[in-house]
Amino acid sequence: MAAEDGELRVFIVAGEVSGDTIGSRLMASLKNLSPFPVRFAGVGGSMMCNQGLTSLFPMEDISVMGIWELLPHLRKFRVKLRETIDAAILFQPHVVVTIDSKGFSFRLLKQLRDKYDQQRLGGPIHFHYVAPSFWAWKGGEKRLGNLAKFVDHIFCILPNEEEVCKLNGLDATFVGHPLLEDALELNQERDNLSCLKLLGNYEAFRGEYKVPSGATIISLLPGSRLQEVSRMLPIFKNTVKLLKEPIPQLLPVIHVAPNRHVENFIDGAVQNWPVPVVLIPGGKTQLKYDAFSASRVALCTSGTVAVELHLARLPCVVAYRAHFLTELFIRYKAKMPYISLPNILLNSPVIPEALLQACTPVRLASLLK
């Protein structure tokens, strides 16, 4: 199809920061590998835009997580979904690639497939990057078969997912975890064994931010979506209050996701913190791992970052709170005793977790100490 048209048209959609990173790397690789010029359209963040995408609207507009958390944004969510569908049909892509953000992605792919079926057109091939966490929820595997109606191929980032997807009638390929690309980027001049670690330069970080020699740095990672940051950052603040006395030279370093809503919220929120705070921008791999290397411990909201911290060899505590109805749903539907991917993969609580009602400043401070 690309040969006939003289170009490969890719409609690509990401709805969160981690998806923006994955999408940008996929776009760069496609441009490098394709024998034809590649043209992109869709939705993404700053990193995807750096690779040539003009996003239909800010990625943050569809960056909503949870069930009841979605309700206040439902009207805008539907408007953005229709806008994306119309743009995809107008673009006439050869392939559509959605990245994670399954709430938006699967609705987009299903409605696109329905539109093409109504018009009796073949339509583009649908790829979804990052399999849904079917292994974490009761009845999760049974739902995979339904995806085959509108998803042609899944790119899996965990090795066990490919076989399970295929057993349930869904074509899939294990492509590796995106964080391994961070390792390749950071370890270009090191031996092969170093790719198992993601180590930064603590001296460079302390020098750049003029960190006093006796300071104890704690990395705080409150999340990448505004709703989770606004819920978790006050808990993190009260945790730091409790650590202020036993650790007199405590210096929190807050990793700010490249999300304009998150950036504005954190800028305002830290004005009344009990100790000085260093804010570092997201989207810079080397800086992030330099900060990890300079830190003694980390406190993070549950997500991909738990794997990053584990690979960086930085002890951490994983925290998670949500709307109380979402928490009830999690208690009822979750079949895993853990929420952090390292704990799930190793089936062991190697990373301390403080979840739901147990996620209190007193509990977090105790674990961090």
**Degrees, nearest 5: CA angle 261-20-306:** 85
Beta bridge partners of 220: 254, 299
| 125-129 vs 153-156, strand pairing mode | parallel
Cα→Cα distances 259→133, 263, 314, 344, Å: 24, 6, 25, 28
Contact 368, 317 (CB under 8 A): yes
Tokens for 266?
Answer: 């954190």
For 150, phi and psi rounded to 5 degrees? -135, -5
**Please, what's the b/e burial string for 205-235 (b: 16 or more CB within 10 A of its CB; e: otherwise)?**
bbeebebeeebbbbbbbbbbbbbbbbbbbeb
- The pLDDT of 254-278, averaged and rounded, is 93
Mean pLDDT in the chain?
89
Predicted confidence (pLDDT) per residue in 332-357, tens digit: 677 778 889 899 888 899 999 999 99
Tokens for 209?
Answer: 């931010």
Annotated domain spans of the chain: 8-180, 190-368
Determine the Cα–Cα distance for residues 89 and 42; give it in Å rounded to an integer: 11
Predicted confidence (pLDDT) per residue in 282-302, tens digit: 888 889 999 999 999 999 999
- The pLDDT of 217-221, averaged and rounded, is 98
**pLDDT value of residue 76:** 83
Residue corresponding to tokens 């993404």 = 44
Please check the confidence at residue 191 and state whether its pLDDT lies above 70. no
Please check the confidence at residue 140 and state whether its pLDDT lies above 80. no
Please check the confidence at residue 200 and state whether its pLDDT lies above 90. no
**pLDDT value of residue 192:** 54
**pLDDT value of residue 61:** 86
**pLDDT value of residue 113:** 95
Q: Residues near 142 by Cβ (< 8 Å), separated by ≥ 6?
A: 168
pTM: 0.86
**pLDDT value of residue 143:** 82
Predicted confidence (pLDDT) per residue in 26-78, tens digit: 999 999 999 999 999 999 999 999 999 999 999 988 876 655 556 666 788 89
Helices 74-91 and 102-118, interaxial angle, to 10°?
50
- The pLDDT of 126-131, averaged and rounded, is 96
> What percent of the chain is predicted at pLDDT more than 90?
65
**pLDDT value of residue 232:** 96
Range of lowest pLDDT (23-27, 48-52, 225-229): 225-229
Cα→Cα distances 31→26, 28, 97, 273, Å: 9, 5, 15, 45
Task: Please indicate whether the domains covering 8-180 and 190-368 agree at the CATH topology level.
Answer: yes
- The pLDDT of 275-279, averaged and rounded, is 95
Please check the confidence at residue 320 and state whether its pLDDT lies above 60. yes
Predicted confidence (pLDDT) per residue in 324-333, tens digit: 777 777 776 7
Half-sphere exposure of 246 (CA within 13 A, CB side): 8
Please check the confidence at residue 84 and state whether its pLDDT lies above 60. yes
Question: CATH class for domain 8-180?
Answer: alpha beta
Query: What is the CATH number assigned to the segment(s) 190-368?
Result: 3.40.50.2000
Contact 7, 41 (CB under 8 A): no
